[in-house]
Structure 1
């Protein structure tokens, strides 16, 4: 099989999100890059999780919890694949933590007095300001090292107690070297997976935990059902409009074009042939589906199109939870086709959900999702056909950053006026202490304590794995061009289908034609705007 370009597989957004599960580094690297997420502070800095640890913990708990809130659909990404990558990363870390727990017990807990002295030195280093971190931390570690040497040479007791005093501060140091090797090996493994995922190597997540090994394996069965439920939830056709946030999962509205004219019989016709809004929408839907084909050369049809009907509910802009109907109109997570037809034929004037016919384009491997929504409203003798554009941009740039060694500039030995580049170790001394200290609490019984001590990643609500991390698409020139260009053929296709339908039903179309011509000229100069922000004061 020939190599398939990564972009054509629509995996770019999924891989960018999945790579976060394997990352290391301080959590501020994520919270500073994405405004919608924040860190719920813990009690002790030595227990603060890294980006990957916090991301996996938050996402798995939010998407597979027994009593979780509904999730926003993730168009342009595969949430199940992201969660499976998180489970694989957690599995790798749990294997490391099991070994570190043994090291902590043998080299730390059995020699607790010496361990506490070393931890106090690291705590002083952790509490120091960044400017004085090296000074205070160096002094504290030096004092601890001198105390270790002093106790080795001059213990204050004899016999077995004296022997214990001699080694009680040296054994934790030996344990640190053992823990360092364990941490370094796991860090190399995680970084390899991090780069493989971003490179689109095709190696999917390996998660044996979701395969039940027997009828008694209830945990695997529950996890498998949770992932299947997550996958089914993404196929919902019920969405939420949250004020200036736009439609959750589709992005903010950036453009709007409408034609609204009176319906009169054509010349020489006594009465028009009556119709419903759904009839107009069906004709528009048929013409939109034909856009994937083109009579022009060089495959000028529009690829990766999705034409579908959506029921959209309105929720307050500050709402922290979404809901879906639970009546007979729902079939699982989907609004029934018969109910969708009835909704489209309602006057859509006043309180209640609205019907939208959507044409969605997933571009740039899922990094850009452009959706053009069509609404048809029939009030008295006025037909209104409106097209609105929504865009969901790419993730923050840090999501596509590959693993690399951190570097600093240091003076050259003997030539302080010159600088050289020095690579920092993948696993620092503080990181080994942090991981070993956290390891005993990473077991299921200790996770609440660990969250309390180190804090957690606070996900934005309502939460969706795709839209929660999106940034503005207009900062990328090519993405902005693609979003604007596709609006013109969609708008003209909608207008052409509407005119054909009205002519078939003996409606005078001259005024509609004039209005469509004006909109055709207007859309040629379309540019992104804040269509959901009204200047009405």
Structure 2
């Protein structure tokens, strides 16, 4: 018996994929160096998650608070690769494995920097602890704020430190012995260490910015996950990581989805429209009864029609990237914080087998139980817009109902597509002082950032210290149920072109579903006139269709 999570050798794809834009935008967050609050403020209105992305404050954020990239990587890797993790919401419109691999690469880049900073801290900080503590006190007391009193206090402490250094040099100048040399070097050497640490931090900042910019411009290399390549049969850590990444790729291919009430289908977004055709099954002509058929007979005919949407009488009229899939959707509570998938002989890994899907489609479900939907999905705008048209066929008594519902997952906030830009400042010109000029600053232009990275560095080497670092600096809490694409989605209706695409594509899908139904019914001796009339009315109504809150009912 083979491991269902082992998907075997990976082949490099050279064909273009429609969801590289959203994947690159999300992955670029792993390399950011801005404040965590930027992400919190950008995703204040997620479309289909139970809770918001939140920040848990640490006990010593002044020294240990992570930046956006550090907090994002830690939160995502813990949620996706951590022990005993919950199932992930499928990321339609993105490739979660690539995003996670970029998080691993960004984390490895920072670990290389932290190893160098740790050695610098040991040599220039721990060995000369009294002097380093004095400089650190100047930073902690004065801080980096704009308050004049705090700035004045910081300057006073720094001046005092220089005076102490000068006094020690004068007092012990020419004094022999190790103790005399130590007292003379105790104050200046931590400053030398700071300059070396700043150089290391600056080099790493340039590397992270290059990765960030390359992802958004489409010129960057793919993620390098050397830690997922076992070097031998004893390399259990790499083998475990390889299997975890393979499991995430397999989990993305699931055909099990979850409906969370007004939050819509997790991963697909809220329902923005619904069209129903519901008529009685009457025998045609003078026949006394119809020929029996199953729901799945109608669904199979619809699937054939929907797959032909890529064709058109016009040369450029076909709809690109049509994905038709059978989904089994279960209802969960609006505030549920996790999802689950069925297990047993009906499952093949994360996918339900075809015979089980067909059984659910044919089963008379009126009440509790999973439902079958034939989904037609379009990944547009490089993954920034995901439109899903779900078709369901049900029979209750003599009535046959065909319902098509539209779901839309909107674009990522502007923060995700923001390209790196070096910090700038406006200063007066040298001779024409009444005019301003823009000067670019180094990526690391603050003493506080160097101190923060140097203090955090020793805590990033061991797994047991990661929790302590989060307790000290704070942690980013991801929304649950969590999906790497759905967690950051915004509303698609703020972009007129995206809204137009979502509305337009629903028309050919609905007409294809109706055409398949009208083609099958005469073969089963069903009277077609009422179905035909109802189909024409719905088709006419769609001429002026517009998005609505179809998941919210005003029944008060």
TM range (shorter): over 0.9
Contact 2:216 2:417 in 1 (8 A): yes
Query: Structure 1 length normalisation: TM-score?
Result: 0.94
Q: Relative to structure 2, which stretch is displaced further, 59-68 or 388-397? A: 59-68
After TM superposition, give the deviation of residue 526 of structure 1 in Å.
1.4
In the alignment, what sits opposite 1:302? 319
After TM superposition, give the deviation of residue 151 of structure 1 in Å.
3.9
Contact 1:128 1:137 in 2 (8 A): no
Secondary structure in structure 1 of the residue aligned to 2:303: helix
Contact 2:144 2:448 in 1 (8 A): no
Instruction: Please show how residues 70-85 of structure 1 align to structure 2 within 5 Å.
Output: 70-85=87-102
Change in CA separation of 1:91 and 1:383 when aligned onto 2, cut-off 3 Å: same
Contact 1:6 1:12 in 2 (8 A): no
Change in CA separation of 1:156 and 1:241 when aligned onto 2, cut-off 3 Å: farther
Give yes or no for the alignment of 1:504 onto 2:523: yes
Contact 1:7 1:365 in 2 (8 A): no
After TM superposition, give the deviation of residue 426 of structure 1 in Å.
0.4
After TM superposition, give the deviation of residue 126 of structure 1 in Å.
3.7
In the alignment, what sits opposite 1:441? 459
In the alignment, what sits opposite 1:38? 54
Question: Out of 252, 260, 267, which is 1:249 matched to?
Answer: 267
Taking the aligned partners of 2:306 and 2:149, their CA distance within structure 1 comes to 64
Question: Out of 374, 377, 392, which is 1:375 matched to?
Answer: 392
Taking the aligned partners of 1:179 and 1:363, their CA distance within structure 2 comes to 45
Instruction: Please show how residues 258-297 of structure 1 align to structure 2 within 5 Å.
Output: 258-294=276-312, 296-297=313-314
Taking the aligned partners of 1:519 and 1:402, their CA distance within structure 2 comes to 45
Change in CA separation of 1:521 and 1:369 when aligned onto 2, cut-off 3 Å: same
Taking the aligned partners of 1:222 and 1:192, their CA distance within structure 2 comes to 30
Contact 1:157 1:165 in 2 (8 A): no
Question: Out of 244, 247, 251, which is 1:229 matched to?
Answer: 247
Contact 2:33 2:67 in 1 (8 A): yes
- The aligned length equals 533
Question: Out of 494, 506, 515, which is 1:487 matched to?
Answer: 506
In the alignment, what sits opposite 1:465? 484
After TM superposition, give the deviation of residue 192 of structure 1 in Å.
0.9
After TM superposition, give the deviation of residue 18 of structure 1 in Å.
1.1
Secondary structure in structure 1 of the residue aligned to 2:128: helix
Give yes or no for the alignment of 1:358 onto 2:358: no
In the alignment, what sits opposite 1:16? 25
Change in CA separation of 1:390 and 1:212 when aligned onto 2, cut-off 3 Å: same
Taking the aligned partners of 1:166 and 1:153, their CA distance within structure 2 comes to 9
Gaps of 5+ in 2: 1-12, 45-51
Give yes or no for the alignment of 1:521 onto 2:540: yes
Contact 1:6 1:200 in 2 (8 A): no
After TM superposition, give the deviation of residue 167 of structure 1 in Å.
2.3
Give yes or no for the alignment of 1:165 onto 2:183: yes
Taking the aligned partners of 2:226 and 2:17, their CA distance within structure 1 comes to 29
Taking the aligned partners of 1:130 and 1:12, their CA distance within structure 2 comes to 42
After TM superposition, give the deviation of residue 130 of structure 1 in Å.
6.5
Gaps of 5+ in 1: none
After TM superposition, give the deviation of residue 327 of structure 1 in Å.
2.8
After TM superposition, give the deviation of residue 144 of structure 1 in Å.
3.6
Query: Structure 2 length normalisation: TM-score?
Result: 0.91
Write out per-residue CA displacement over residues 92-116 of structure 1, whole angstroms, 9 at most, x where no aligned residue. Answer: 1111111110000000011112212
